[in-house]
């Protein structure tokens, strides 16, 4: 089956058409106004590429309530395809061991379903977007996680809350090997502070999570990274983590298949 998967985030809406866990088409819709995140979906469905791919169903998650409502209304008006919405009340095959499941972001649940089918449990999924989230998957399901500011939040806050510090672009934060640790300008000081500080925050949070899992008797987990800011992780991490850029949409595809065709037999790569 070909499934159109939509991941509506705070900054961007990512989409992909997947078949047998392989992407046939993927892209991104700009969301300059959060509430309008779903506006581009009808046009996407009517596009030539979508007509040629002819998906058999739609699966989505959204962290923007206003966009969720608009998307559901749009799908009723422009599509007769079966729809799966992933949220705490519908995450097939994933147990949620959390006192307040309604507080868990749907994208985080989709990430865990994607980790289940692609890598197996236990796993720690680090999603680096507008916010950084750590989510813990065990054999029992979703156990909880951590939320921290993303690198974009850090840089914007410095600029917006000070009179003299400039705004940084993402490319400003990519450090070269010969960059010195002591800034010789405001820009270089901010670059090093944000880029290295962000990586250090991720490292400290991960070590805390791994220590807790060890105390709880959980076997050493796979460490998965996704999200647009994952490129700011230190190069030394390449042997430590699995880069999983499509894990959210893969989780959405799996949720659809579990909903409409039954449990998957796949257990990972």
Residues with a known catalytic role? 107
Q: How many CB atoms lie within 10 A of CB 180?
A: 9
- The secondary structure of the chain, three-state, reads CEEEEEEECCCEEEEEEEECCEEEEEEEEECCCHHHCCCHHHHHHHCHHHHHHCCCEEEEEECCHHHHHHHHHHHHHHCCCCEEECECCECCCCCECCCCHHHCCHHHHHHHHHHHHHCCCCEEEEEECCEEEEEEEECCEEEEEEEEECHHHHHHHHHHCCCCCCCCCHHHHCCCCCCCCCCCCHHHHHHHHHHHHHHHHHHHHHHHHHHHHHHCCCCCCEEEEECCCHHHCCHHHHHCCEECCCHHHHHHHHHHHHHHCCCCCCCCC
φ, ψ at 240 (rounded to 5°):
-100, -30
């Amino acid at each position: 089956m070909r499934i159109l998967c939509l991941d509506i985030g705070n900054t961007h809406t990512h989409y992909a058409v997947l078949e047998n866990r392989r992407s046939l088409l993927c892209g991104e819709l700009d969301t300059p106004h959060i509430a309008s995140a779903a506006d581009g979906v009808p046009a996407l469905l009517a596009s030539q590429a979508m007509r040629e791919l002819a998906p058999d169903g739609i699966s989505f998650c959204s962290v923007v309530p206003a966009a969720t409502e608009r998307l559901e209304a749009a799908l009723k008006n422009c599509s007769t395809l079966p729809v799966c919405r992933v949220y705490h009340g519908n995450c097939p095959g994933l147990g949620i061991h959390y006192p307040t499941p309604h507080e868990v972001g749907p994208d985080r649940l989709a990430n865990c379903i994607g980790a289940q089918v692609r890598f197996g449990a236990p796993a720690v999924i680090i999603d680096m977007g507008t916010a950084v989230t750590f989510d813990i998957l065990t054999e029992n399901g979703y156990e909880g996680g951590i939320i921290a500011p993303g690198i974009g939040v850090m840089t914007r806050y410095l600029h917006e809350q000070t009179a003299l510090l400039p705004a940084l672009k993402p490319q400003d934060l990519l450090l070269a090997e010969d960059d010195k640790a002591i800034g010789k300008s405001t820009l270089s000081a901010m670059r090093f502070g944000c880029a290295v500080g962000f990586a250090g925050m991720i490292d400290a949070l991960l070590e805390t999570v791994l220590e807790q899992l060890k105390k709880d008797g959980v076997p050493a987990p796979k460490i998965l990274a996704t999200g647009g800011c994952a490129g700011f992780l230190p190069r030394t991490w390449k042997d430590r983590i699995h880069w999983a850029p499509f894990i959210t949409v893969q989780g959405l595809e799996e949720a659809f298949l579990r909903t409409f065709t039954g449990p998957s037999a796949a257990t990972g790569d």
